[in-house]
A and B are shown apart, each in its own frame.
Chain A
Amino acid sequence: MKILIVDDEALIRELILQIIDELEDMDIQTIEASDGLEGLELIRKEKPDIVLLDIMMPKMSGFEICRILQKEPPSWDMKIVILTAKGQEIDKQTARELGVKWYITKPFKIDDIIKLLRELLEVKSNES
């Protein structure tokens, strides 16, 4: 299993990494990107199973990445979870329109993240 963390804040990436560490019973490989452009490149190169995506980032926003992916859908099964400080209803709606099912606002409870990742990973491993 491969999880890509796209966030311009190093400390947030570190936090997420540590949260994923809590899922030690699962075989998870993590990769990080510090801006939207790098995130998009890594998505195409690494083909991750799950992308934890921030919205407000330099070079390319999370929404733009979603927009590009909506036009050129990835060939593999990839789930996008948006992790953002933008908590307005309008942003959630934009995400829905872009086909993103999971939307978590910062600050979040780590248990929520753990629960969600566990769910997604279990569905994934059941499929395969």
Chain B
Amino acid sequence: MRMSKLFRKTLLGIIFLFAIIFITISVFSGWHIYKNLVEEYKSKGTAIASSIASSSAETILNLDSATVQAMIDQFLEIEGVSYVFVVDSTGEIVSHTFVPTIPEKIKEIAQVHKTGIKDVSIENFGDFLDVVSPITEGAIGYVHVGMNKNIINKKMWNVLAKQLTLLFLIFIFSVLLAYFMVNRISQPLNQLTEYAKKLLAHDFEAKVDIKSEDEIGLLANTMKSMANNINEVFTRYEFALKDAVVELQDTLAYLTTIIDNMADGLIVVDKDGIINHVNLAASEMFGKAESEMIGKSIEILGKELDKLVKKSLQTEEVVSTEINLVNERVGKAVAKSIKKEYFSEESEARGILGSVILIRDITQEKEIDRLKTEFITVVSHELRTPLTSILGFIELINKKFTENILPRLDLSDTKLAKVVNKINKDFKIILSEGERITLLINDVLDISKLESGTVTWNLQEISIKEVITDAYKALSFLFEQKGIPCYLDIQPSLPMVNADKERLIQVVINLLSNALKFTEKGYVKCQARLNEDEILVSVEDTGIGIPEKEKEKIFEKFKQVGDLIKGKPKGTGLGLAISKQIIEAHGGKIWVESELGKGSIFYFTIPLTRKEDLNENTDSR
């Protein structure tokens, strides 16, 4: 196992501490022992030297060197004594313990007669403390005792070695003790570290086995309960997340299923017109696989659709057009821009994000429409032909009667004159009713074409003033006939509008003749005003008015206020329905304000900038 950091630090500390102890003890203790031993040897040497000196005076005087020799030999056995020699007053060595010869250095020392202690170093012999003691105050001679200094060193080192050995043992013991103690602390710490690492790796099931009740144990317990808490929270969130994901996937799958199973084609494009979603129906309608369309520009599906998308991306309104699909089928495409409102505030999406296009296959409806229009065209033609004969011949009869027969009749006969009058009246009735049928046929044909969108519009820059005055001119004699004044109030210098003049004249004629029809006294007033970006035209009358609940109905086919008030007035009942179609095709609106018994005001608007789709649905019929 690797040495733990904590232990390494402790070990360094111990080593440092012990090094200091070693050095101080060695220096201090060594110096102390050395000093003591030197003192001891000095006193020992002095004692020996004095002892010899006092007891040897007589023997030296007697020149009994053998006795002196025996005495000094005896001292030699004392520990620390290296040599002993006695010199006489002349400096002659009387006896000595050197074997075999006296070193030269000793001979020199022997010449110096000085009591005391001095250090002597003798070659090949060693270092000594030379203790000199006088015999009878130097009169007889001197005793030299050499105490071995080497033994002092030896002794000192011996003691030091013992001390250091003991210290070393204590050091080893300390290290071991430290190791165990550090281990006791660091092992649970390591365990906790491992545990924390596992927790970091989200392994909340990991166990840590620390049962001590000290700080470490407390920490371990805190960590355990923390891990449990986290685990609980994690588990709870994990489940919640799983549930949410499953729910989201289900919702997504549900939506995708709905989109894919739609009968209508669905295409979603982004704000640059790049297709990013296509459903099955759409891919069948264009005969292209989903993969052929996704990521491509909407242009690949035809320029009508491209135009539609571009228009849709610039507005929030629903725009529509007819497009050609594969297999000569026709579709109606409806596009609506997607706004950011469903996205969160933080989302980068801003404003219009793209467009959703729904495509319905209207081939069959178109065909039905076409057949209906064709049917009405044929029927109206078939009706016109006999009507032409009937009206033509009646007119001829009337003409012949008036020109050829009438002059030859005797009108003084009152009975005959009455009959002639009746005949004339009857002719008029037939002719005017014939005219009504003609108008009805025209209107039915008109409305069917307007409703099926197969009308060709003759769009030009026209003046509303001209429209109103032309319409009035066509009706002026009727106003004069009935004695109702018609006031025209047209704002000067109205801008031109892009519209079908004849059709607008048709609308104004219709409104004016309606106003006249229902007005018995008072007046009719036609106004035209510029109102922001549109022209507002109103036709006001002082007629019977329209009940509130009928206001919407009158724009429906074959509805007339007359139905509800009194006898059916003249007219086809299609005029307002046709007018509504014409105005709406121009992008305008038509409505009525009325007070029963007081009169009505019909309004319509023509926008100055017409929405483009007026001529898109036209047909060359």
Candidates A12, A56, A87, A89; contact of B389 at CB < 8 Å:
A12
Whole-angstrom distance from the CB of A54 to the nearest CB of chain B?
9
A68 in the interface, Cβ–Cβ < 8 Å? no
A122 in the interface, Cβ–Cβ < 8 Å? no
Task: Return the chain B residue nearest A109 by Cβ.
Answer: B395
Cα A22 to Cα B449 with chains together (Å) = 38
Whether B392 and A89, one on each chain, are in contact in the complex, defined by CB atoms closer than 8 angstroms, is: no
B521 in the interface, Cβ–Cβ < 8 Å? no
User: Quick one: which of B449-479 are within 8 Å of A by CB?
Assistant: 449, 456, 458
User: Quick one: which of B373-396 are within 8 Å of A by CB?
Assistant: 380-381, 384-393, 395-396
Q: A15-B388, A15-B396, A110-B399 are in contact. Are A86 and B381 (CB under 8 A)?
A: yes
B184 in the interface, Cβ–Cβ < 8 Å? no
Candidates B385, B393, B395, B620; contact of A85 at CB < 8 Å:
B385
Tell me which residues across on chain B come within 8 A of A117, comparing CB atoms.
none
B387, B389, B502, B621 interface centre (most CB from chain A within 10 Å)? B389
Whether B399 and A90, one on each chain, are in contact in the complex, defined by CB atoms closer than 8 angstroms, is: no
B442 in the interface, Cβ–Cβ < 8 Å? yes
1/0 per residue, CB under 8 A from B, across A28-55: the answer is: 0000000000000000000000000000
Whether A11 and B389, one on each chain, are in contact in the complex, defined by CB atoms closer than 8 angstroms, is: yes
Tell me which residues across on chain A come within 8 A of B381, comparing CB atoms.
56, 85-86
Cα A6 to Cα B608 with chains together (Å) = 47
1/0 per residue, CB under 8 A from B, across A76-113: the answer is: 00000000011111100000000000000011111100
Whether A110 and B392, one on each chain, are in contact in the complex, defined by CB atoms closer than 8 angstroms, is: yes
Task: Return the chain B residue nearest A22 by Cβ.
Answer: B399
Whole-angstrom distance from the CB of B458 to the nearest CB of chain A?
7
Tell me which residues across on chain B come within 8 A of A107, comparing CB atoms.
384, 387-388, 390-392, 434, 438
Task: Return the chain A residue nearest B619 by Cβ.
Answer: A90
Main secondary structure of the interface of A (DSSP, over half): loop
Task: Please report the total number of B residues contacting A with Cβ < 8 Å.
Answer: 25
Cα A87 to Cα B502 with chains together (Å) = 14
Cα A86 to Cα B377 with chains together (Å) = 9
Tell me which residues across on chain B come within 8 A of A86, comparing CB atoms.
381
Cα A89 to Cα B449 with chains together (Å) = 12
Main secondary structure of the interface of B (DSSP, over half): helix
Cα A90 to Cα B390 with chains together (Å) = 27
Tell me which residues across on chain A come within 8 A of B388, comparing CB atoms.
12, 15, 85, 106-108
Whether B434 and A89, one on each chain, are in contact in the complex, defined by CB atoms closer than 8 angstroms, is: no
Tell me which residues across on chain A come within 8 A of B380, comparing CB atoms.
85
Whether A18 and B456, one on each chain, are in contact in the complex, defined by CB atoms closer than 8 angstroms, is: no
Q: How large is the interface on A (under 10, 10 to 19, 20 to 34, 35 or more residues)?
A: 20 to 34
A19 in the interface, Cβ–Cβ < 8 Å? yes
B385, B392, B445 interface centre (most CB from chain A within 10 Å)? B392
A64 in the interface, Cβ–Cβ < 8 Å? no
Whether A89 and B456, one on each chain, are in contact in the complex, defined by CB atoms closer than 8 angstroms, is: yes
Cα A9 to Cα B399 with chains together (Å) = 23
User: Quick one: which of B480-507 are within 8 Å of A by CB?
Assistant: 502
Cα A56 to Cα B387 with chains together (Å) = 16
Whether B396 and A110, one on each chain, are in contact in the complex, defined by CB atoms closer than 8 angstroms, is: yes
Task: Return the chain A residue nearest B397 by Cβ.
Answer: A18
Tell me which residues across on chain A come within 8 A of B395, comparing CB atoms.
109-111
Cα A107 to Cα B445 with chains together (Å) = 15
Cα A110 to Cα B390 with chains together (Å) = 12
Tell me which residues across on chain B come within 8 A of A85, comparing CB atoms.
380-381, 384-385, 388
Cα A56 to Cα B391 with chains together (Å) = 20
Whole-angstrom distance from the CB of B452 to the nearest CB of chain A?
13
Task: Return the chain A residue nearest B389 by Cβ.
Answer: A11
Cα A52 to Cα B312 with chains together (Å) = 52
Cα A101 to Cα B502 with chains together (Å) = 19
Cα A68 to Cα B438 with chains together (Å) = 32
Tell me which residues across on chain A come within 8 A of B438, comparing CB atoms.
107
Cα A16 to Cα B74 with chains together (Å) = 193
Tell me which residues across on chain B come within 8 A of A90, comparing CB atoms.
456, 620-621
B385, B396, B442 interface centre (most CB from chain A within 10 Å)? B385
1/0 per residue, CB under 8 A from A, across B427-448: the answer is: 0000000100010001001000
Whether B396 and A18, one on each chain, are in contact in the complex, defined by CB atoms closer than 8 angstroms, is: yes
Whether B389 and A15, one on each chain, are in contact in the complex, defined by CB atoms closer than 8 angstroms, is: yes
1/0 per residue, CB under 8 A from B, across A2-21: the answer is: 00000001011001001100
Cα A107 to Cα B387 with chains together (Å) = 6
Candidates A18, A56, A87; contact of B442 at CB < 8 Å:
A87
Tell me which residues across on chain A come within 8 A of B393, comparing CB atoms.
15, 18
Cα A26 to Cα B380 with chains together (Å) = 35
Cα A56 to Cα B377 with chains together (Å) = 12
Task: Return the chain B residue nearest A105 by Cβ.
Answer: B384
Tell me which residues across on chain A come within 8 A of B389, comparing CB atoms.
9, 11-12, 15
Whole-angstrom distance from the CB of B260 to the nearest CB of chain A?
43
Cα A106 to Cα B392 with chains together (Å) = 10
Tell me which residues across on chain A come within 8 A of B390, comparing CB atoms.
107
Cα A108 to Cα B392 with chains together (Å) = 7
Tell me which residues across on chain A come within 8 A of B396, comparing CB atoms.
15, 18-19, 22, 110
Whole-angstrom distance from the CB of A63 to the nearest CB of chain B?
13
Chain B residues near A (Cβ < 8 Å): 380-381, 384-393, 395-396, 399, 434, 438, 442, 445, 449, 456, 458, 502, 620-621
30 pairs, CB–CB < 8 Å, chain A vs chain B: A9-B389, A12-B388, A12-B389, A15-B388, A15-B389, A15-B392, A15-B393, A15-B396, A18-B396, A22-B399, A85-B384, A85-B385, A85-B388, A86-B381, A87-B442, A88-B445, A88-B449, A89-B456, A89-B458, A89-B502, A90-B620, A90-B621, A106-B385, A107-B387, A107-B388, A107-B390, A107-B391, A107-B438, A110-B395, A110-B396
6 tightest Cβ-Cβ pairs between the two chains A and B: A85-B384, A106-B388, A107-B388, A15-B392, A85-B381, A11-B389
- Given A85-B385, A107-B434, A110-B392, list of 17 further CB < 8 A pairs? A9-B389, A12-B392, A15-B389, A15-B392, A22-B399, A85-B380, A85-B381, A87-B442, A88-B445, A89-B502, A90-B620, A90-B621, A106-B387, A107-B384, A107-B392, A109-B395, A110-B396
